[in-house]
Every structure is written in structure tokens, then in C-alpha cells.
């Protein structure tokens, strides 16, 4: 049977462009677009598919955006494609790319491989078996014991979704024979990198390093499929005939990263009038262990005297600015009490002389980044969407997490008082709920393996107060945790 190559079929680029411009991850800039195929790979066709003329391909395209003679921009996009000789109901309507007429008069149907069962099985096997192409331009890599998993077949089940933060299509794969109620630990998630790059970002590098160190704080990376493509920009700049770039096309991870997130669970607890204390304590401890894992893997060191001084000056500036922004929104008695607290903190910040540890942290941690991977053991993990930060204070993550709790509480309270969810208003005392959660969260963090000096410092109290004032302003004078802030500051 002759091999059908998608890019050799008449109208292939036109069909691909028509589909690509409607995808949420496609860089749809203004002006004229020119598509050029610069690389890709062919995958072995797995046995068991109903289509005897199925071919599996990945295409990497340069997309040149030409807005004017001077305004030009180039992106790369990657598209996994299942080339079929007949329509496939199993791939789904959303996976259909288009239909082409072959030179011999026959027709082929193109489907997005991120949602095609045969493509997913072949992709997973390429990583699990560490397969590579003969020319060395593509290869699969297995990590964390993935090579010991049972083979994947086309009988697997899949659920695909687009990432809201990155140009990635995530597909959860359930192996053949696994029941619908089986746990996430027996499934995998394939992340198709729709816009591949030749340099791994800090989030993926962090996840791979933590996987190698057997950290239990994240969804481990199980496999990677990479590919090389022609780098026309580099060739032009270097004055050579051709240059090549290599990047990841797919990342395979544990499916526990798709477990319910902390934001959803916290809102559910409030709606049902339930406490969240036990889970919050576990979450605080998990965050501390996450910081300890990061410190072990990437190191940390005390601030220099100059760094300490700069941080103290910045904390004072931030606190003054936030206080000036909200001071008129307090009544007279509250304003007097708060002014005393602010003055005390400013004085402490001027006198601080104890350096804190800096290390790699998440950088933008919120409840949406936490997932209850195992309800029985109440194990929380963290994902990296939103970035990592080097040479930062771990207390920053603690502050942003507590502010995430506060913001979720304010959202629930606001919706309830607007009549959207009146049951929530009667079901829970929002102020007390936040007080309890923040207290046990900090207790859990202090019980972890992390260096907890930062959360006992004036920098933590000042950051909490500054962020609380910002939240107070955004919620138009409503401040569910006002007593907490005052008591914490005075202590």
C-alpha cells in the first residue's frame, strides 16, 4: 500500500490554514499569512484501527505574518494529523480538519491527532518504548518508570481540552480495560505543544527536575516526544544554507494534575456550609514540602545585605502606597487603629537586619494551581501554569495563596448578597471561615520541611497587610478578614 503523505496532496496547505485560523492557540495576527512546512515526523500505525489505510503524521509549519513591508513576524505551529481513507465517527466532530482529493481520485479525511485514538496510542508508545526516527530528527523519552507501563492500544479512551494559559491541547487518556471509576493515577495526560520552541521553559524544566528527584508535590513528567525542524530564521542570520532547531512536541504527565482544584473545592465547602480546615492544613503543609523540594533541587541562599535593604525599602514603599489608597475608606476609629499598625510596621521594616532565604518558587500561586490528587490521603499537588520565579522569597507563595483564599471568600459573599446563591450566605460565616482556614494553613506550612523563617517575619506581615488593602479597595470597602489583619499585625 503506497504511503499517503498529507503535504503532497493538492490543497493540503489551504485546508490546514482554514482549520488553523479557527483554533484558540493559533497566532492569528493581522495581515497576509504564508504557510511553509519546515518539519515533522511519521509515526508507526498501531494495529487494531478499523481504517486499513490510516497514516499518522506531525507537521511543523512556519507561519509568516506580513502586515506591511516593514512589519513581519514568524511563528511555528505543530499539528498532529491522522490521515484516514474514510470518515471517523470516533475522532469526533471537533477533531475534523478537512477533506482532500488524492491524485488518483480517492479522498482522504484529515483529523487532529490530539483527539484521534490511533494517533494517541502511537504517540504514547513512541515515548514509552523510547522510539526514534532513522534520521535522528525525532525521538521519544520515558521517565519515572513509564517504560514499565502496559502497551497502549487504539482501544483507549480520551478526553481533550484546551489550556487557558498556554497554546497546549491536553488530552486525558484512559488505557484499555480501565473502568470509568478508576483513579487518575492509572491514567495519563498528553500535552500537545501547539507552538513548539527550541528552548524548554522554566516550568517544564522545573517539573522534569522534580520528577527526577521523585518529588510528590507535582504531577510527574512520564514522557517527552521531541522533533527537529528547519530553522529558516537562524539560517538566514547565520548565512548558511540550512539550520535546524529541536523542541518538544508532546509532554506526557500523570493525570493527577487534572484532579479537582482547590478553588472549586473551597467554593463547594462554603456553599455547603462545611469547614475546610483539615484540607487547608494539608494544603499548607504540602506547599511547604513543595518549597523544600524546590530548595533541594535548585538550591537557595541567604539574601545579601544589599538585597535585604532593597527589599525593606520596597516593602515600606508598597505599604505606604496601599495605605494612602484606602485610608479614607475606613471610619475614624478604624482609621486610627490601622494607622498605628502601619506606623509600627514601617518602623520594624526600617530596623530589620535578619536576611531571609531566597530560592526558586512558583511565583503566582493561587487555589487554581492546587489539586487534590488523592482524597483519601488528602494529598495536594501544585502545577506550574503561571510561571516560576528564581531568587525569590518562599513567603511570597504563602501570601498569594492566603490572598487567593480571601478573594474566593469575597466572591462567594458578593454573589450571595447579590441574590445569585443565597444558600451560601446562610450556610457559612465568611469571616470566621477565612479566619479558620488562614490559621490552619499557616500551621500546616510550619509543620512542613520548608524553612519557615519567612512567614514569621515582618516582611510576611507587611506583605499580607498590603495585599489585604488592595483586596479591600477592589471589593469597594468590604474586608472579610479585617480582624485577622489587625491581630496578625499587632502580634
Q: Give me the pLDDT at residue 104, please.
A: 73
Q: Which SS3 state, helix, strand or coil, does residue 149 take?
A: coil
Residue in this structure with the C-alpha cell 481540552, named with its chain if needed: 161
Q: Which residues contact 92 (CB under 8 A, 6 or more apart)?
A: 115
Q: Give the CA distances from residue 431 to residues 186, 333, 336, 436, in Å, rounded to whole numbers and listed in that order.
A: 40, 20, 22, 9
Distance CA 355, CA 352 (A): 9
* Residue 38 · residue 229 · CB < 8 Å: yes
Reported as a single tens digit per residue, the pLDDT across 58-82 is 999 999 988 777 778 889 999 999 9
Tell me the C-alpha distance between 212 and 144, whole Å. Answer: 7
Residues 6+ apart with CB under 8 A from 397: 287, 291, 361, 362, 363, 365
Q: What are the cell numbers at 430?
A: 465568611
Which sign does the torsion angle of CA 164, 166, 167, 172 carry? negative
Report pLDDT for 426.
54
What is the model's pTM? Answer: 0.88
Do the beta carbons of residue 182 and residue 196 sit within 8 Å?
no
**Residue 449 exposure: Cα atoms within 13 Å on the Cβ side:** 11
The span from the CA of 19 to the CA of 12, in Å, is 11
Predicted pLDDT of residue 491: 42
The confidence score (pLDDT) of residue 477 equals 58
Domains, the chain: 6-258 (no CATH), 262-490 (3.90.1200.10)
Three cell numbers at 196?
Answer: 513548539
User: How many Cβ atoms sit within 10 Å of the Cβ of residue 472?
Assistant: 23
pLDDT of residue 248: 96
Burial of 443 (0-12, 13-18, 19+ CB in 10 A): middle
Cβ neighbours of 446 (radius 10 Å): 14
Q: At 371, which helix (H) or strand (E)?
A: strand 370-374
Instruction: Walk along the chain (491 residues) in steps of 10 and give the mean pLDDT of each run.
Output: 69 91 85 88 89 91 83 89 86 83 82 93 96 88 95 89 81 85 86 93 93 95 96 90 93 94 95 93 97 95 92 95 87 84 92 92 92 92 87 94 92 66 58 90 96 93 89 70 46 42
CA 420 remoteness from chain centre? 30
Give dist(CA 8, CA 19) in Å, integer: 18
Whether the Cβ atoms of residue 123 and residue 250 lie closer than 8 Å to each other? yes
Residue 462 CB contacts under 8 Å (≥ 6 apart), including other chains: 315, 316, 318, 319, 345, 349
Phi/psi zone of residue 7: left (φ > 0), alpha (ψ -120 to 50 degrees), beta?
A: alpha
Q: Which residue has the cell 505599604?
A: 319
Q: What is the pLDDT of residues 123-177, one digit of tens each?
A: 999 999 999 988 889 999 999 999 999 999 998 888 887 777 788 999 999 998 8
Backbone angles phi, psi at 316, to 5 degrees: -65, -40
116 closest CA partner among 59, 54, 164: 54
Q: Which residues pair with 244 in a beta bridge?
A: 230
Amino acid at each position: 500500500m503506497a504511503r499517503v503523505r498529507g503535504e503532497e496532496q493538492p490543497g493540503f496547505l489551504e485546508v490546514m490554514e482554514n482549520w488553523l485560523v479557527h483554533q484558540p492557540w493559533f497566532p492569528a495576527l493581522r495581515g497576509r499569512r504564508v504557510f511553509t512546512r519546515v518539519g515533522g515526523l511519521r509515526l508507526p500505525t498501531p494495529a487494531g484501527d478499523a481504517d486499513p489505510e490510516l497514516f499518522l503524521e506531525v507537521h511543523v509549519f512556519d507561519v509568516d505574518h506580513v502586515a506591511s513591508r516593514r512589519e513581519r513576524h514568524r511563528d511555528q505551529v505543530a499539528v498532529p494529523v491522522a490521515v484516514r481513507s474514510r470518515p471517523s465517527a470516533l475522532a469526533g466532530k471537533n477533531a475534523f480538519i478537512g477533506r482532500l482529493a488524492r491524485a488518483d481520485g480517492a479522498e482522504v479525511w484529515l483529523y487532529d491527532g490530539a483527539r484521534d485514538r490511533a494517533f494517541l496510542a502511537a504517540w504514547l508508545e513512541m515515548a514509552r518504548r523510547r522510539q526514534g526516527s532513522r534520521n535522528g530528527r525525532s525521538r521519544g523519552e520515558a521517565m519515572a518508570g513509564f517504560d514499565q507501563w502496559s502497551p497502549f492500544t487504539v482501544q483507549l479512551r480520551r478526553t481533550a481540552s484546551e489550556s487557558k494559559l498556554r497554546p497546549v491541547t491536553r488530552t486525558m487518556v484512559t488505557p484499555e480495560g480501565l473502568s470509568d471509576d478508576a483513579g487518575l493515577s492509572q491514567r495519563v495526560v498528553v500535552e500537545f505543544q501547539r507552538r513548539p520552541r527550541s528552548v524548554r521553559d522554566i516550568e517544564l524544566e522545573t517539573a522534569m527536575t522534580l520528577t527526577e528527584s521523585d518529588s510528590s508535590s507535582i504531577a510527574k513528567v512520564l514522557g517527552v516526544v521531541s522533533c527537529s525542524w528547519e530553522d529558516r530564521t537562524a539560517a538566514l542570520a547565520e548565512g548558511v544554507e540550512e539550520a535546524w532547531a529541536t523542541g518538544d512536541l508532546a509532554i506526557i504527565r500523570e493525570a493527577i494534575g487534572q484532579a479537582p482544584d482547590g478553588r472549586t473545592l473551597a467554593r463547594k465547602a462554603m456553599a455547603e456550609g462545611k469547614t475546610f480546615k483539615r484540607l487547608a492544613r494539608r494544603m499548607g503543609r504540602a506547599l511547604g514540602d513543595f518549597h523544600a523540594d524546590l530548595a533541594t533541587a535548585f538550591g537557595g541562599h541567604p539574601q545579601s545585605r544589599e538585597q535585604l535593604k532593597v527589599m525593606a525599602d520596597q516593602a515600606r514603599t508598597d505599604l505606604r502606597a496601599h495605605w494612602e489608597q484606602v485610608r479614607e475608606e475606613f471610619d475614624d476609629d478604624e482609621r486610627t487603629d490601622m494607622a498605628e499598625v502601619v506606623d509600627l510596621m514601617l518602623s520594624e521594616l526600617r530596623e530589620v537586619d535578619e536576611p531571609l532565604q531566597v530560592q526558586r518558587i512558583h511565583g503566582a500561586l493561587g487555589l487554581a494551581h492546587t489539586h487534590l490528587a488523592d482524597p483519601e490521603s488528602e494529598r495536594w499537588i501544585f502545577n506550574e501554569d503561571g510561571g516560576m520565579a528564581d531568587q525569590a522569597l518562599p513567603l511570597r507563595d504563602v501570601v498569594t495563596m492566603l490572598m487567593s483564599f480571601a478573594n474566593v471568600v469575597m466572591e462567594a459573599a458578593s454573589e450571595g448578597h447579590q441574590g445569585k446563591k443565597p444558600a451560601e450566605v446562610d450556610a457559612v460565616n465568611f469571616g470566621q471561615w477565612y479566619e479558620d482556614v488562614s490559621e490552619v494553613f499557616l500551621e500546616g506550612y510550619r509543620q512542613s520541611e520548608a524553612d519557615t523563617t519567612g512567614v514569621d517575619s515582618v516582611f510576611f506581615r507587611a506583605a499580607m497587610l498590603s495585599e489585604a488593602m488592595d483586596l479591600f479597595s477592589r471589593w469597594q470597602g468590604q474586608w472579610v478578614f479585617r480582624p485577622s489583619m489587625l491581630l496578625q499585625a499587632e502580634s
